[in-house]
Structure 1
Amino acid sequence: VSEYFKKALSIKCILSILLKLKLCGRAPLNTKIVGGVDAAPGTWPWQASLQTSGHFCGGSLINNLWVLTAAHCFPTTDTTGFTVFLGRQDQAGSNPNEQSRTISRIVCHPDYSGTTNDNDICLLELSSAVTFTDYIAPVCLAAPNSTFNSGIINWVTGWGTTSFGAADILQEVDLPIVGNRECNCSYGLITNNMICAGLSAGGKDSCQGDSGGPLVGKQGLQWVQSGVVSFGQGCALPNIPGVYARVSEYQAWINGIITTNQPGFVDFRSAGINSVPLLLSDKPICTLIKLDQGFFYMTTSCFKRPSIPHPGGFPPFT
């Protein structure tokens, strides 16, 4: 009898994992292939708008009761006055597919540093579970050892600042991943807990108001969250990518907080540009991109290494 129950429990666990992976990262209304500005309703069904007297940060739904966001969005764990909106498209108009919840608990990473922006990640427990629809659904999360190679395209979404001011309609932008070594040329404080994305020419980026929102990549039919919008130097500047908390570093911490109905973690594998580090005084500071015939390419910004201000000079995107 004991063996029977062990097998039954094992099967139940496997089915539970498969169900999570079947549910997460699905966006049936998302038919986009390349860029855009305004996101169509239901395109990013995990996108959350965090509000007090108005929108101040983004987030992502990771199961029916929890939202993932940035720690710098919540300098206090007092839940008074916060509302989470899901299924929202327009900050100024009607949102017929919307559900809203208050926050019952705020759990930010214990090692978050407001000085270096390291471990800029936080979990919000909703007051009650939301109902999944085509417009409200959880995103998958990148599992440990996932690879997001330089040059692969990810998407960032939010209602943050655009060239025309704060956005009313949910915005979306496609950005290439920038390797941590190259990203460190711009900041000098990039850790393994961070992931960067942006165009070398600038013009596209996350910005103020996007903080806490998701950076996602697609694998097969599933969208997998690679990052949480964290900080940057300005917005959309040439050779200055945006910086995100690297989700794949936090499975153990997330599952330590969410002990039931845990989020779906997916091992994301990307085929990207082959890169190797450039060493200077035994410290990698930039990235060489391997091309055909054994040649290497490097962005000129690596030879114009800026003077690095105090880490506090790179404010988070709020």
Structure 2
Amino acid sequence: MSGVVVAVGLLGCGGAEQEMAQGDVLGRDDQEIVGGIEARPGSHPWIVSLGDGVSHFCGGSLIRVSATRNETDIVLTAAHCVYDGWSGLTVTAGAHDLFRPTANQVTVRVSQVVYHPRYNPDTTMNDVAVLKLARPIPFGGSGCGISPTMRPNLKVQAAAGSSWVMPVCLPAAGELVPDNVEATVAGWGLTQEGGHDTSSILLQVGVPTVNSRQAAQSYLSQGITIDPSAMLAAGYPQGGRDACQGDSGGPLVIKKGSNYFLQGITSFGVGCARAGLPGIYARVSNYIPWINTQVRSLSSVASM
């Protein structure tokens, strides 16, 4: 499977040292959204930045762990973001411009990491991990996945009363996402394949979900197996819009009613935004029982 490791771009693991050691791997650790726009500040209140004390390298999502307490100490991210170690790992919530911290954001140390026991770094199967924070992060209001200010093509300040920190909703176990449904992915990764400069500003891009059989066929030509039960594909046939290095572990959300649901965790791709090769995301609905088990075991505020 070594060919897969070289071909696949993990979208947000490692850091500067790993990049130098694996220069031929198009990972998403250090790349941003391709073909996207600046997100409205505060419009992705569940997204967090994973840092190593020096810089951002992956994304993640806050999830609700208690029906009665408006705080959480659990983050979902990609297993490949933490597989090689997590010493000094921190999570920053409520951020927009990573170079210009504001009173809206909070940084908390990660005290425990559990990645899926069947995560395979060669095939990127089961690319899911749960992070336990050293202390809970409070958020405004009840519920989950609420973002009245998220609009795809406008660059404006957050509306009055919008929340900067809010957990995302989780899908039902085994829930399937229809083909060609608009999803939104966000992150602080690179803006083009092979790029070197990352934007400190949170970016987002809309991408349609792709039929699993079609995605599997596309990746078969690259020698990569796509498991429809564990992986979700999203992107345009012509390419041009995608997540990229540095976006790994971040959320792919789909709106259902008035709420946004975490349907995918940014995982990998061949390059970034290439035609015929959609981005691949860990299918969150496949892991709900495992996630719930980890939350009950790890969280100090859970009531599930």
> What TM bracket, shorter-length normalisation?
0.7 to 0.9
Q: 1:181 and 2:188 equivalent? A: no
Tell me if structure 2 keeps the 8 A contact 1:161–1:207.
Answer: yes
Deviations 1:151-209 (A, max 9, x none): 10000000011037312100000000001100011213111100000011111000000
Equivalent positions of 1:142-291 (< 5 A) are 142-163=171-192, 165-188=197-220, 189-191=225-227, 192-259=229-296
Number of aligned positions between the proteins: 229
Distance 2:50 2:103 in 1: 18
Residue aligning to 1:74: 82
Deviations 1:3-41 (A, max 9, x none): xxxxxxxxxxxxxxxxxxxxxxxxxxxxxxxx9600111
Look up the SS of the partner of 1:258 in the other structure: helix
Report which of the two structures shows the higher radius of gyration computed on alpha carbons: 1
Tell me if structure 1 keeps the 8 A contact 2:83–2:115.
Answer: no
- Structure 1 vs Structure 2 CA RMSD: 1.7
For residue 241 of structure 1, report the CA deviation from its aligned partner.
0.1
Distance 1:118 1:95 in 2: 37
Deviations 1:110-137 (A, max 9, x none): 0000011000000000000011031011
Higher relative contact order (CA 8 A, sep 6+): 2
Residue aligning to 2:55: 54
Q: 1:43 and 2:43 equivalent? A: yes
Tell me if structure 2 keeps the 8 A contact 1:141–1:263.
Answer: no
Runs of 5+ unmatched residues, structure 2: 1-34, 65-71, 141-162
Tell me if structure 1 keeps the 8 A contact 2:36–2:241.
Answer: no
Residue aligning to 2:18: none
Residue aligning to 1:291: none
Deviations 1:36-90 (A, max 9, x none): 600111100000000012000000001311000000001245x431111000000
Look up the SS of the partner of 1:248 in the other structure: helix
For residue 262 of structure 1, report the CA deviation from its aligned partner.
5.1
Which shifted more, 153-162 or 89-98? 89-98
Tell me if structure 1 keeps the 8 A contact 2:235–2:241.
Answer: yes
Distance 1:101 1:93 in 2: 17
Amino acid at match of 2:93: L
Tell me if structure 2 keeps the 8 A contact 1:255–1:262.
Answer: no
Q: 1:176 to 1:130 in 2, by over 3 A?
A: same
Look up the SS of the partner of 2:173 in the other structure: coil
Distance 1:105 1:180 in 2: 33
Q: 1:112 to 1:181 in 2, by over 3 A?
A: same
